[in-house]
Amino acid sequence: MSLGAIPYKFVYLYFKELILISMVTVRSFETSFMSIKFFSNAKRLTDLAKSFELENSESKYLNLDEYNENVLNVIILSVTFLESLINEFFYIVSLDNKHNSDFYKLKLSKEQKRILAELWCIDKIQRLSILEKYELVLTTAGKNKFDKGHDSYQDINLLILFRNSLIHYHPDRAEVNYSKIDETLEQTKFEKKLYKKLYISPLIKPSKNYFPYKYLSYNTAEWCLKIVSRFVTDFYHHLDTEYYNEGILIK
């Protein structure tokens, strides 16, 4: 059978496993993981949003479709990065446990790796929320838990809620009060928190001054990158080590 006749998904899975087997030998997994791709794309789209704002700060008539889409994707990709990263963490631990190795210097004991690897085989564990997975790792490793009252944790929780509200969008959330455009604010705890954290888009049109459009800006995109970077750094510091792709994060 020629390669062209093999179903795409099968080819992808086959070569993914082949790559991983090879990479166990060269002690690298990076090219098989997606989290860094999600974050890199989010950074690229953030730069595009910044450039668009700088180039059009004085323009009155703009087509904001691509600009809005870029910021929407940054919000979604930032959370996708977090989820992919913790799933990859469990996978790395599972490989370490299987091969009695320590590819990423995670500073976990053999017993901790064994427990995490066994937990990851349980469907219920894989269905935990993003933050619950991070907390499970810290608890199993015997490390200090996140301070849920701290800004870094609260911001990540708010970002995840923001992403979820977009993925599961309800049109009835977009309630516009045209007589008080600058004060338009849904009376929910969630958007009140967003309102305190984010600036209203400098390019917002009066006809779009409602959720989520008024929050789609370079400021929002940059906020997403900064808080996920801070959260990932904090997570690895809790484990007494550094994120292996620390250089891509935003300080």
Local mean pLDDT, 10-residue blocks, the chain (251 residues): 44 42 43 86 97 88 92 98 96 89 84 94 94 96 93 95 90 51 53 85 81 92 97 95 88 79
The pLDDT, as a whole number, for residue 206 is 75
Rama region for 142: left / alpha / beta (φ>0; ψ in -120 to 50; rest)? left
The two tokens of residue 222 are 């940059």
The pLDDT, as a whole number, for residue 32 is 67
- Give me the DSSP letters along 116-168: HHHHHTSHHHHTS-HHHHHHHHHHHTTPPPP-TTSHHHHHHHHHHHHHHHHHT
User: Rg of the chain over CA atoms, in angstroms?
Assistant: 21
The pLDDT, as a whole number, for residue 209 is 72
Domain ranges across the chain: 1-32, 36-82+145-248
The pLDDT, as a whole number, for residue 182 is 42
Q: Are 11 and 3 in contact (CB under 8 A)?
A: yes
Of 152, 146, 148, 137, the closest CA to residue 107 belongs to 137
